[in-house]
Structure 1
Amino acid sequence: WSNVIPVTISFKLQPVLTVSPSWLSPGASVTLSCEIEYPSEGWSFYWYKAIPYLDIKEEAYKYELLPDGSETAQTLYVITGQTHTAAYVCRAQRGSNYYYTYYSKPKFVWSADLYPAASLTVGPVGQTLSFDFVRLTCKGNSTWWRVRKFPENSVPYCSNVWNLGESVCTLYTKASYSDDGVYWCESRSKQFSNAVNITLQDFYSGPLMEIPDDPVKKGTFVRLRCNLRRKKIFPSVAFYHNNKLIQNDSREELNFLAVSKSDEGSYKCQYSGKESPSRWMSVKCE
């Protein structure tokens, strides 16, 4: 038998930071809470404000120690007088060998109030045959901006780059609602804008009725289509002829095996509680 050699395996811990409240209200203080799952005793805590970092491909933020934010024994840190959107992180240290944890993931406290030095505006809403879209624009006392989003799932490309001058981010309603979330702007001069909670469904202006531009020939097969301009999540699509309901089921098409003169008239479709503009179908007898 060989000698027994004791081996100690260690790994670096990452604390979990929570903030309360997540949305600011006038005069309210913000409480940060830094927790470590195990071991939970014997830690000193460090508290930081997260500052936008110049190269988002390396790190999104750098960290600046908060006032009296070094080696506190308490797991809570209270901030008073915070009026604008901000981000915070924490980490912990213990033992005579000064073991440090990783930094926590940044947590945000958002403000909806407009801030002249950094502002996020929503609009205008645009429309194409395939989808609706809305533009987010960053403005303020900086020459470089980026748009950011929480949660970070399906983060739009525009939030991964710095833009000179105004930063414009275009969100589309077409594919899914994965771009729903809280949006705000950040500048290279360490400013955070107001935050906006966006649900893209709110910008959906409705379906479009697709009808042949030229008159259709009597007795021929004709297909009309309701272009939903988004991912279908509701089962029912309704079609109307001269404001009378003629079809209401899962189909997105209205078919005429042999179109007649009586089929001529105004058509529209309805989906997700919104109606398309009416369009006219002409039927010629020759």
Structure 2
Amino acid sequence: MPKAGRVTDWEYRWFQDGDLHEPIFSSNENEYTDSLFNNSVKVYVEFMLEGKNTGNFSCMGVRKSDMQQSHVSDPIELTVHTIPYTDLTASPSRWLRVRDSVTLSCEVDRSSKGWKYYWYRAVPYKDGLPSSSIKSLSMEMLPGSQHGAGGSLSFSPVGLNHIKAYVCRAGRGDPAYYTRYSIPQLLWVSGSSPSATLRVSPNRVQHFDNDAYSVSCEGHGNSTGWKVKRFTWSKGKSECGTGWGTVMGSSCYINTSTYDSIEAIYWCQSDSGEYSDAANISQTTKPVILESPILPVTEGNSVKLGCRYVTPPSDLGAGFYRYDSLISSERTGEMIIQSVSRSDEGSYRCEHPVLGESRSSWLSVRASSVSHHLSQASITWLLYALQMMCHFNQP
């Protein structure tokens, strides 16, 4: 018997589910292992295409010098397990202000029983920490999550210390069988009244691949030293002037030739550590983009969404979708949401019947100050009413 893995004069053939007419793999080595990655993937893909996860495999040898065949081996059963994905969401939004509340929810794809959940924050790569598919990031486990926790994580009230990229995964069984890490979810928290406003020119979230755009900071009050910063999944947090942008006055002109400029989160930060609101800016090679507000809009205001094209077609009509549901078809390629509310928050895209669909962008809706607190006029009226009640109740 040749030693396992040794190249010999024999050719080895592997068969699946009793079909001896067409081997699924043949080799001069007498092992068929996971080191033969492409062929392992082939078996996995065949299972998925056929809707199966289990098969019976057998092998035989053929001597190349005289084509003598061995007996076919007894079959063995092989089961292929797919690694589940996890989906991480933030409710009511991942764009927050100080003193808001937020809940992160982690769900396992196609399964919900018996899982323990593990919570992490994504940090720049560190030796000794696990990494996800984004090799430049490591997963640092949050306190209290070592032995598994629930499928939700809440913060109330939030502060600037909650500005982090959060990640989850789940495990069950002994020894534990783990899901994949979720896609990182960045929570952004700005002051209740930010001391600076982030400006993007042209003023839109999505840009075409060859578009040039700039980001600038408009400070208010006495705050000084505002700088444009950004976060990408490939490089983490960095400041304009470190390769991806050129500082000119108060503006940062983005170098759109770098791969990690395809999608990034931008914000303004002062020397004293104050933050503006943040914006998720993206570029695309698609011929269609969605025009939508860069910053969160306040409840009660109207919002215009538009479909923009690299080369405008004769027919500008487009459909507008919230998540995967069509909400409006407009001949002008523009739609207006009157008096927005928190229920209008979500992921939007547009689609042209010929040119196709845009990428999706998140529309963030912020509660008005009146909905959180009594307005000054209401307080004045209330004090007046109390005074009148006291006056009429005097003996």
Return the TM-score normalized by structure 1.
Answer: 0.46
Structure showing greater relative contact order (alpha-carbon pairs closer than 8 Å, 6 or more residues apart): 1
Which has more helix, going by share of residues? 2
Return the TM-score normalized by structure 2.
Answer: 0.35
